[in-house]
Amino acid sequence: MIMMHLNGIEKLREKLPDYPGNRIGIIPLRGFIGTILGYFFMIFLDVSPRVFIDIPFLSTIEPYLPFIGTIIVGGIGLLLIRRIWDLRDERKLEYGDLAYQKMIPTGVVGVFLIPPIVFHAFTSIRSLPPGPPVNELTSLWSQSLFSMIGIPSEIDLVLRLGISLIFIIIGGLLVRSAIMTFGIDYMTVVYLYFPEESEVQENEIYSVVRHPAYLAGVLLGIAALFSRFSVYSIGFCFIIYVIFRLHIRREEKELIERFGDGYTDYISRVPALYVSPKNYGKFFRFLRGK
């Protein structure tokens, strides 16, 4: 398994004594199941007016169901992730050094509920089976905005896919570099339950953006936005951004408590989820693993 060779995996294993050997794969497996269930829940909500055509109310709210499903899945994911933070002290008192092991499966499922939102943004809502939308507004909001302003369909498709591919590559490289540089133990917030073992990260990327891994998620959301460039994909991307902003707000509350005015000053100097043009060189150097 690829997971067995990830940077930081041995430190992570130390904190998960009930998951020896390949058994550690159970944790991401639960996450993948969450991803599948989350995606199909949203799709089911999207097509429910087409399946239950005898319910007029569903046809009325059909245009809004994709947003509702995305918010529900994203909200559940965010709540599960935040439980790792909010219940930390309580669980440490109850379980001691095993508190992390007790909480990390919940957090992983929460994290894995974010990808289906991105997949959903790549999905053509109007093309889903069993048939076309029952509300004209659903079809309208599914259309490419480029085509709606008169750009030929051939150029529209190439433009959307080309821009989307650029953001997919950048987002994917950013995820890879973050894991290779900081380790899977850091990415799975081992430091949150074992602060005495944590190390201050001084990588150059942190002078560019405060949360490189979260930025990767936003970039993939932007890739999904441009893949369809519809009202729906724009709305989904906005929801993804809000989810990360809400989590960052919770995470940085603790960081401010831990590091005081120094971190407050850091927040004022370095953006959370974008890179200033003057720092593009440093950013792409990080993507190359340098």
Task: Give the Cα separation of 60 and 56 in Å (integer).
Answer: 6
Within 13 Å of residue 233, how many CA atoms lie on the same side as its CB?
A: 25
Residue whose pair of structure tokens reads 């289906």 in the numeric block? 116
Sketch the domain layout of the chain as residue ranges. Answer: 2-287
pLDDT at 1 over 70: no
Residue whose pair of structure tokens reads 């909001």 in the numeric block? 141
The pLDDT of residue 5: 62
Q: What is the value of pTM for the model shown? A: 0.91
The tokens describing 233, both together, are 């994909």
Task: Give the Cα separation of 32 and 201 in Å (integer).
Answer: 29
Q: State pLDDT tens for residues 177-213.
A: 988 888 888 888 888 888 877 666 667 899 999 999 9
Task: Give the Cα separation of 210 and 29 in Å (integer).
Answer: 29
The pLDDT of residue 42: 98
What percent of the chain shows pLDDT beyond 70? 96
- Give me the helices (H) in the chain, please: 9-14, 26-51, 56-61, 65-86, 88-95, 99-112, 115-122, 136-142, 145-148, 153-182, 184-187, 190-193, 212-228, 231-259, 261-269, 280-287
The pLDDT of residue 201: 63
- 216 contacts: CB under 8 Å, gap ≥ 6: 171, 172, 174, 175, 178
For residues 261-277, average pLDDT: 91
Mean pLDDT of the chain: 91
The pLDDT of residue 181: 85
Q: What is the CA radius of gyration of the chain?
A: 21
For residues 246-260, average pLDDT: 88
